[in-house]
């Protein structure tokens, strides 16, 4: 991961380094890994932060679970209830995830309208939206 982070390098003109930041991810089989990756902030204007390694790996801001865990949960949820899916992930793969989290993954949403409004006001949501717009 460190080598990939180095290879991705600086995103270009108009960005300044904010140093390395840690991120914890729960992988398949319940292992929690810590990755350190470089972050960059847009110079001037609105606050926008990107992590090129996160983008390359397809990691969404503030997501705790590795995408493979999410894919497996979504696949299981097409055949089982959300609670049953959570139980299979916990008992078979040692991945502690709630049925509510699985529901959020399946629906692709942040939850209620009120919750979405709160998220949309957060800097991490704006950073994610800016990344998706590029």
- Token readout for 82 is 């959300």
Instruction: Provide the pLDDT for residue 45.
Output: 67
Q: What is the pLDDT of residue 1?
A: 79
Residues 6+ positions from 83 with CB-CB distance below 8 Å: 99
Q: Tell me the per-residue pLDDT of 78-130, one tens digit each, with 9 for 90 and over.
A: 999 999 999 999 999 999 999 999 999 999 864 433 344 344 444 444 455 44
Whole-angstrom distance, CA of residue 54 vs CA of residue 60: 7
Give pLDDT, residue 90: 96
Which structural domain range is residue 94 located in?
Answer: 2-133
3-state secondary structure of 39: strand
How wide is the angle at C-alpha 24 spanned by C-alphas 5 and 106, nearest 5°?
105
Predicted confidence (pLDDT) per residue in 35-83, tens digit: 999 999 988 867 889 999 999 988 888 889 999 999 999 999 999 999 9
pTM beyond 0.85? no
Report how far residue 39's alpha carbon sits from residue 47's, in angstroms, rounded to the nearest whole number: 13
C-alpha separations of 115 from 8, 44, 65, 110, 125 in Å:
34, 29, 20, 7, 12
**Total domains in the fold of the chain:** 1
């Amino acid at each position: 991961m460190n080598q990939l982070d180095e290879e991705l390098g600086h995103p270009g003109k108009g960005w300044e380094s904010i140093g390395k930041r840690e991120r914890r991810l729960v992988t398949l089989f319940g292992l929690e890994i810590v990755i350190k990756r470089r972050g960059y902030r847009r110079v001037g204007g609105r606050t926008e932060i990107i992590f090129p390694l996160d983008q390359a790996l397809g990691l969404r801001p503030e997501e705790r679970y590795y995408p493979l865990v999410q894919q497996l949960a979504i696949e299981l949820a097409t055949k089982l209830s959300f609670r049953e899916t959570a139980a299979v992930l916990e008992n078979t793969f040692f991945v502690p995830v709630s049925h509510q989290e699985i529901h959020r993954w399946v629906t692709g949403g942040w939850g209620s309208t009120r919750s979405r409004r709160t998220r949309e006001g957060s800097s991490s949501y704006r950073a994610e939206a800016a990344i998706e717009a590029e």
